[in-house]
Amino acid sequence: MSVIEQMQQELQTLKEHSNLRQLPQMVHDGREVVVNGQRMLNLSSNDYLGLAANKEIRAEFLQTLTPDSFLPTSSSSRLLTGNFSIYEELEAELATQFGTEAALVFNSGYHANTGIIPAVSHARTLILADKLVHASLIDGIRLSTARCIRYRHNDLNQLERLLKEHHSSYQQILIVTESIFSMDGDLADLPSLVHLKHAYDNVLLYVDEAHAFGIRGAHGLGCAEEAGCIRDIDFLVGTFGKAGTSAGAYIVCSRVIREYLVNRMRTLIFTTALPPVNVAWTLFVLRRIPEMKEPRKHLDKISRILREALQAQGYSCPSVSHIVPLMVGSSANAVVRAKELQRHGFYALPVRPPTVPEGTSRIRFSLTAEVSEEEIRALISCIV
């Protein structure tokens, strides 16, 4: 069989198992999408604060631009000629908001996770990663020369045993977790992770706040702010692509770590830096995030209503956040249920293996502050 024939066969198998993926065609209209001529409320967006659907804030930002300041490309890596001053303004704002020594901005969360982990680990490093961490973290681990053990999801007893067993055989141990998990919407226990880390002098903690930045904490800085442990986390990472309404990602960290990454992180060094206009927009949004308490409160409220309704219906719902899975089991079932919701005007998508473990296919609701309480109640009647 030729390589191409093999690909065709594999695609056919995916199709037979309801696991074939396609790029969906859609037109965006604020908080709604139009797919195949049907207008639906977007319940699959990562625009958690609803800012991407907000035209006023875009208009306000456009007012700040002139042909001189509208810079659509950096034309280079930041280490060559791509380091525009707006980058350093954004990093200064991040360090101020988070109260850290330093911050560093990257092209995306994917670049961050696939770049930082290999840069800071080596053959005498042991990585202990939660079983459910995001693909970008797994790819970062794969690119590193460290040994990795995955511990059961949020099982800190197992993690503690692994630390005890291995801490003296490695120069350093890196614990890797998300704060809000992408698919289950549950949380890592950050205070306990910090406590475990402090029991050893060679253990570092890496936390990805992709789904929490903008949403959790009094000023929207994430779960680490909420738990009061920002400066106990060695590598605190987040993306601007979700609640941040932009593109790019950050780490807030010590000065030493920042300088080390500038020298060693391949996904920072060998790529064209983000367009300065994009970085200016990120900064524009970042300055507004601390004050966005009302949208955060509303999102918290509608998320709770949906979670409690699913639990009352007997669905197992691990979520304690705005990411709320409706567990349906088989992929075929997930596809059918998603279609049904779509017919009722709710654009929710099935999540299937390999993104989630076999047998745990689900509809993944990813709520935003633009969804009203009435709409959540209508969604609940539709599910029931």
- Contacts to ligand PLP from residues 224-283, by CB under 6 A: 239, 241, 249
Give the residue among 179, 176, 214 at the shortest CA–CA distance from 197.
176
Among 48, 98, 110, 346, binds ligand PLP (CB under 6 A): 110
Neighbour tally for 172: CB within 10 Å = 18
* Number of helical H runs and strand E runs in the chain: 14, 14
Give, in order, the Cα–Cα distances in Å from 289 to each of 113, 208, 213, 240, 292.
23, 18, 9, 11, 5
Does 211 bind ligand PLP (CB under 6 A)? Our answer is yes
Under 8 Å between Cβ of 129 and 135: no
Among 113, 282, 331, 360, binds ligand PLP (CB under 6 A): 113
Among 74, 182, 282, 319, binds ligand PLP (CB under 6 A): 182
If the CB atoms of residues 46 and 360 are measured against ligand PLP, the closer one turns out to be: 46
Stretch that binds ligand PLP, among 11-19, 203-211, 317-325, 345-353 (CB under 6 A): 203-211
If the CB atoms of residues 108 and 172 are measured against ligand PLP, the closer one turns out to be: 108
Under 8 Å between Cβ of 105 and 229: no
Instruction: Give the whole-angstrom CA distance, residue 111 versus residue 95.
Output: 20
Does 366 bind ligand PLP (CB under 6 A)? Our answer is no
Q: Least distance from C-beta 234 to ligand PLP, angstroms?
A: 17
Question: Residue 116 contacts by C-beta under 8 Å, 6 or more apart in sequence?
Answer: 140, 206, 235, 237, 251, 261, 265
Among 141, 173, 194, 210, binds ligand PLP (CB under 6 A): 210
Instruction: Give the whole-angstrom CA distance, residue 26 versus residue 375.
Output: 21
Q: Least distance from C-beta 286 to ligand PLP, angstroms?
A: 15
Does 325 bind ligand PLP (CB under 6 A)? Our answer is no
Does 82 bind ligand PLP (CB under 6 A)? Our answer is no
Residue 353, phi then psi, degrees to nearest 5 = -60, 145
Under 8 Å between Cβ of 20 and 29: no
Instruction: Give the whole-angstrom CA distance, residue 305 versus residue 181.
Output: 19
Does 134 bind ligand PLP (CB under 6 A)? Our answer is yes
Q: Enter the tokens of residue 31.
A: 């908080």
Q: How many residues bind ligand PLP (CB under 6 A)?
A: 14
If the CB atoms of residues 139 and 300 are measured against ligand PLP, the closer one turns out to be: 139
In the block, which residue shows the tokens 């625009």? 47
Instruction: Give the whole-angstrom CA distance, residue 14 versus residue 16.
Output: 6
If the CB atoms of residues 214 and 241 are measured against ligand PLP, the closer one turns out to be: 241
If the CB atoms of residues 202 and 271 are measured against ligand PLP, the closer one turns out to be: 271
Q: Least distance from C-beta 183 to ligand PLP, angstroms?
A: 9
Stretch that binds ligand PLP, among 102-110, 169-177, 197-205, 258-266 (CB under 6 A): 102-110
Does 337 bind ligand PLP (CB under 6 A)? Our answer is no
Does 185 bind ligand PLP (CB under 6 A)? Our answer is no
Instruction: Give the whole-angstrom CA distance, residue 228 versus residue 219.
Output: 12
If the CB atoms of residues 45 and 239 are measured against ligand PLP, the closer one turns out to be: 239
Give the per-residue contact string, 152-181, with ligand PLP (x = CB under 6 A; - = no): --------------------------x---
Instruction: Give the whole-angstrom CA distance, residue 337 versus residue 329.
Output: 11
Does 321 bind ligand PLP (CB under 6 A)? Our answer is no
Q: Which stretches of the chain bind ligand PLP, using CB under 6 A?
A: 108-110, 113, 134, 136, 178, 182, 208, 210-211, 239, 241, 249
